[in-house]
Amino acid sequence: MYATSSALTKLLYLSMFALAVTACSDVSTATPEKPALNEQKLAAVLAGAHRSDANKARDKWRHPVEVLEFFGVSDDKVVMEIWPGGGWYTEVLAPYLRDSGKYIAAGWDPESDIPFIKNAVSAYMTKLAEYPDVYDQTEIGVLMPPEKMQPAAPGSVDVVLTFRNIHNWMPRGSQQVMLQAMYDALKPGGVLGVIEHRGVPGVEQDPKAASGYVNEDYAIELIESVGFVFDGKSEINANPADTKDHPEGVWTLPPTLRLKEQDKEKYLAIGESDRFTLRFVKPAM
């Protein structure tokens, strides 16, 4: 753990404050003026034909408008997404930033010898090729420890976003080097936005995050240890129906539904996992 008395005091304050606000509250430790979201453009993107009906249906769980507003993602920013996976947020960010900003997809190494990674990269590139008028300005970066750790020029990115990835790095012990790469890529004053499956407070963090859940206090202290300054949190992606005690961890829930038809309706009713949404800033020099 990276516990410090000041961090614990801050967390206690935030916990007490959260009792007095709604589930969609935005709690900030600072009040910088966030750039305006281009809501009209984003609405057109979310309704676009390049998005499948299945992905559109997940908007109610992932709240892309509120998320991008909280992280200050105006359409003129240079934004880097870490490990975009199947590209759910690529569908949103790439066209939103296409004309005025820049979208960098910092993904897996296409030269990897691991078949799963090679296939995933190939599928992602095929996705981009299907809609060249949407994805033609997407910049591809590679971010894979231990060797390929510079997906963008140092100090060139306004916003770095990582969605549900910390638990992927913990089993490999690569969480700090990944965060350091993000820190290096950001401009001074740049924003790091983090969303992750939220563990049970008070339960000791599994260092391997085998269930997919990560404790919020652990994440804050981890990210601060690299040099980021905690700048705020939101309950945009909270889901109190998630009991976090599922037989296959977070992957029991949609969209994975690892148990397939077993208790499927039960897990569909719960919905996607309870998630924390945290904003950090790289200190200005």
CB count, 10 Å around CB of 132?
10
Buried-exposed string 196-216: b where 16+ CB fall within 10 A, e elsewhere: bbbbeeeeebbeebebbbbbb
Q: How far is CA 54 from CA 86, 87, 214, in A?
A: 13, 13, 26
In order of their start, the domains of the chain are 5-15+57-281 (3.40.50.150)
Contact 215, 203 (CB under 8 A): yes
- On whether the CB atoms of residues 105 and 54 are closer than 8 A, the answer is no
Confidence at residue 277, expressed as pLDDT on a 0 to 100 scale:
98
194 three-class SS: strand
The pLDDT tens digits of the residues spanning 35-50 come to 789 999 999 999 999 9
Q: Indicate the helix (H) or strand (E) that contains 43.
A: helix 39-46
CA dist 153 to 78, 98, 184, 264, 284, Å?
Answer: 12, 19, 8, 45, 17
DSSP 51-98: S-HHHHHTHHHH-HHHHHHHTT--TTSEEEEE--TT-TTHHHHHHHHT
pTM above 0.75, yes or no: yes
Helix axis angle, 90-97 to 39-46, nearest 10°: 140
First and final CA of the chain: distance in angstroms?
A: 28
For the stretch 109-147, pLDDT in tens is: 999 999 999 999 999 999 999 999 999 999 999 999 999
**What's the confidence (pLDDT) of residue 35?**
75
Q: So what's the pLDDT on residue 159?
A: 98
Question: Strand, helix or coil at 191?
Answer: strand
Spatial contact of 107 and 83, defined as CB atoms under 8 Å apart: yes
pLDDT (tens, 9 = 90+) of the chain, 285 residues, equals 333 333 333 333 334 333 333 334 455 444 456 678 999 999 999 999 999 999 999 999 999 999 999 999 999 999 999 999 999 999 999 999 999 999 999 999 999 999 999 999 999 999 999 999 999 999 999 999 999 999 999 999 999 999 999 999 999 999 999 999 999 999 999 999 999 999 999 899 999 999 999 999 999 999 999 999 999 999 999 999 999 999 999 999 999 999 999 999 999 999 999 999 999 999 997
Q: What is the pLDDT of residue 2?
A: 33
Edge-to-edge order in the sheet of strand 26-28: 26-28, 229-234, 275-281, 186-197, 157-163, 78-82, 102-107, 139-142
Confidence (pLDDT) at 285: 73
